Chain A
């Protein structure tokens, strides 16, 4: 006894919605079964007819509407950026050079507007450690290192060394991570 596929299954087959196993089974069956092939072709023809009808039903814009749209597009003026874009690579190199030159020449002006840096953290650590080292219950004296005080004043700051090294180490550990 030959089992035939129903219409719903064949529609799903046409739309590629069967699972791979069922899809293969239907394909194999259609190659051997004229009745199912006829039903399949019928469904395929209906689907094609519906698509043809849908295409035929698409409405064309009235010609006046299309004309007004195109007229509006033509009246729209391109921006200067769009015009420049039209020049493309022909302008890219000179513009980049001009920007670089401007940045180079303008840097002193910008520097004048940026607030100067505050007191160095190393100096504050130095001042703190100098106090710590005065404490008889503290870790004891350390040598002078900090020298960037414009008044030439220097004090005890082994921490300055530690800080510089620690910064390097932290960077290294960050890279490692």
Chain B
């Protein structure tokens, strides 16, 4: 999809003009062209309910608005939900400090993001993990993301609500294939900052949620809190780098064996990236798929070694004469199996049944 420049260009136009349309609420929403992904069976929403301008405005809002708030995140698992609470200080256009308040294991840890780079300061382990962000490195990627979402989901403004004492527009992202609501956004009616998000499983249950408990818009955030200097005595650890190893989907990296891709993917999913990483001396291929909201990862390597589930409560299952193992991690499920000397693992916020269906189509 990322190579679909037409869709990206259309979304870019939407990003430019649609944001203005949403902010000023004057001009009608521009048309978005994503012909290869659009289902002809789903009629476009009436202009009054079209949530696309709000979506684009929301993506652009952090570039123009500074704020301080407290954010709660919940990830729903099989038997319980896990919560993370953090203080977020954002200084437009691209400086953010996120300080974790709970759970206890994260207390005191903070992440500073400045442009493309992030410094994850971990006082407990006395280290700073430096990572590179995708969006800042490649602004077109954000446009691609919006185009992908628009191709697979219909953005519908469904209501108004109040979050953190702010009036919000509620936008539902409804699958163009199944008609199911996958994501709901609460977008500040005035600033267009996304104040809350909820993602849902295919059965309608909550997968995860983020929500600002309080937020204050201010231009008075001091620059000093975004300093990236490494505290004395802290080790610097190199984290992910977007430039490498993540590659464009059309430029599949060489993992040292013939990559196997699934013959079946749920509707709307398309490959959006790939990477090869060295783990324990093993070339590990990571194929990344997305439908704009949900991500799916297929890992494969040529070691024929079983995935190590140490410390996890792994379950066994069987499909197509393969003994497989899976583990739930909040809303995410990891399914691992081996075949013809290759070790595979599928990871995603999909039902086990769907993952098995995809796994069955991975034929070496």
Contact = CB atoms under 8 A, between A and B. Distances in A.
Interface in A91-146: 115-125, 127-132, 134-144
Contact of B334 (A121, A138, A153): A121
B111 A143 contact: yes
Contacts, number: 183
Contacts of A147: 125
A150 interface: yes
Interface string B299-338: 1010111111111111000000000000111101010100
B284 interface: yes
A48 interface: no
B173 to A, nearest CB: 8
A133 B242 CA distance: 13
A163 B237 contact: no
B183 interface: yes
Nearest to A158: B84
B249 to A, nearest CB: 13
Given A141-B111, A170-B79, A121 B131 contact: no
A22 B282 CA distance: 85
Nearest to A170: B313
Contacts of A134: 133-135, 242
A166 interface: yes
Interface string B103-131: 10110010101000010101001010101
Contact of B122 (A117, A137, A144, A155): A144
A17 B311 CA distance: 65
A149 interface: yes
A151 interface: yes
Contact of A124 (B307, B313, B314): B307
Contact of B308 (A117, A138, A153, A164): A117
A161 interface: yes
Given A123-B279, A137-B149, A166-B313, A154 B129 contact: yes
Interface residues of A, number: 50
**B277, B280, B304, B327: which has the most chain A beta carbons within 10 Å?**
B280
Given A124-B345, A156-B120, A140 B210 contact: yes
Contacts of B78: 166, 170
Contacts of B208: 139
B280 A150 contact: yes
A122 B312 contact: yes
B20 interface: no
Given A143-B106, A170-B313, 14 more contacts: A121-B307, A121-B345, A127-B286, A134-B133, A137-B197, A139-B75, A139-B199, A147-B125, A152-B237, A156-B131, A158-B106, A161-B103, A162-B77, A170-B79
Interface of A: 115-125, 127-132, 134-144, 147, 149-156, 158-159, 161-167, 169-171, 173
24 contacts: A118-B308, A119-B307, A121-B307, A121-B309, A121-B327, A124-B345, A124-B347, A125-B347, A127-B277, A127-B286, A128-B332, A131-B288, A134-B134, A136-B142, A137-B292, A138-B293, A150-B280, A153-B240, A154-B237, A155-B129, A159-B332, A161-B103, A165-B82, A166-B330
- Give the 10 A-B residue pairs with the shortest CB-CB distance, closest first: A118-B305, A170-B313, A128-B347, A144-B129, A117-B308, A128-B297, A167-B313, A134-B134, A144-B120, A155-B240
